[in-house]
Amino acid sequence: MKNYVDLQHKKVLVLGLAKSGVAAAEILHELGAFVTVNDSKPFEESPDAQNLLQKGITVICGRHPEDLLDEGFELVVKNPGIPYSNPIVADAISRGLPVWTEIELAYLISEAPFIGITGSNGKTTTTTLIFEMLNNGGKQPLIAGNIGTVACGVAKEAQKEQVIVTELSSFQLMGTATFKPKIAILTNLYDAHLDYHGTFESYADAKFGVTRNQDAEDYFIYNADQPIVVGYAAQSKAQKIPFTTKGRAEVGISADDTTIYWQGEPYMTRATIALPGKHNLENILTAVAACLLMGCDKAKMEEVLATFAGVRHRTQFVREWNGRKIYNDSKATNCLATKSALDAFSAPVILLAGGLDRGHSFEELRPSMEHVKGVVAFGETGLRFVEFAKSCGVTKAIIAQNVEDAVQYAAPMSEEGDIILLSPACASWDQYDSFEIRGDAFIDTVMKL
């Protein structure tokens, strides 16, 4: 870990605990900062707060005092999920205080370079695929970020010869000031998290943070098939690596039906790639480009691509049951993700969908509903999804109580050769604490069939 001396003797407020807050507080304390942690959970219910107090860190729990910043703090490090409308965060900004997420701290202390992956969809699959290929190629990668491992904790242990493959959300990137990955990736941009960002422009600007500080020694891999992304890419000072799935291109990485091309020349056949779907082809192109730039051997990449069948909860193959193939795509919390999942299959689909009702239209799915032969809907949007399915000509469309119940209806509705697909197009929070818990419930029920 680099000894980042600029934080020594500075008064720093860590707002919100969870895994990232705990890791940030400990590292800041180790770097010589005067750290105060503020969290809404009562002290007696927070083992993390109790442990931090024992280490000499000031802890304020159970409330967020309005005058907290009057203590003379010079920096705020906040949990990414805390919105900028939060009174303490808004007060910090009005006072001109820097407001970071732990990603900025990770960058400042890391001996290793970063590969930063962001976008509306495809981040986790791309991140995991890069990690697996670099690992198979002997590059000693580490994995961190929004994928579940706190980046500053990983950065603390990273060595110069390693690389940190980091999935980055817009929430995390908004809290960066100097973060500068060696390789930045922007997979795509679609409407998302507008309840947090307010506007699409604000959301897209946050995503652009992945390349904002890059220079001519760095690389920016971006989606050349999206004009909005191309517009942002024009502002990047990095070496630009566009990707496209619309056929052979002379620049960057591209693909047609049979071949992946690098700078216009055939590089790799698609015949042995295991992961299905056009959206996954985009993920594969970005991952191959990143690993190629890192000097990874092509044969080592091909070995991974031949066996990599997807990330848990992301068009994950669960099992074959009586001639039906069953997939878990619980991560599909918006229509675009569900559309991508549906478009990955040509066989008839029994679709399990529904969840938290945010008032979004399902119309974006209509062109992809042609091979959906049955729908089992659940959650707050259950009735709306059934009505939408019937308007698309799906005659078998029924409501279930929850995901577990939906599996019991979908099984007898299906026939040999069908796909049974959980791809909700909605967030899980009406019935489940996370999409992971929803997906696990689906898997557990499927395995009992």
The binding site consists of 119-125
Asked if residues 243 and 282 have their Cβ atoms less than 8 Å apart, the reply is yes
Asked if residues 386 and 377 have their Cβ atoms less than 8 Å apart, the reply is yes
Q: Which tokens go with 371?
A: 């091979």
Cα–Cα distance measured from residue 76 to residue 258, given in angstroms and rounded to the nearest whole number:
50
Residue type, 127: T
Contacts of 341 (CB under 8 A, 6+ apart): 277, 279, 315, 327, 329, 332, 421, 423
Cα dihedral 373, 374, 379, 380, rounded to 10, equals 60
Tell me, what DSSP letter sits at residue 311? B
Q: How many CB atoms lie within 10 A of CB 295?
A: 9
Q: How many CB atoms lie within 10 A of CB 323?
A: 10
Asked if residues 375 and 425 have their Cβ atoms less than 8 Å apart, the reply is no
Annotate 32-72 with DSSP letters as a single string: T-EEEEEESS-GGG-HHHHHHHHTT-EEEES---TTGGGGT
Q: Residues annotated as binding site for ATP? A: 119-125
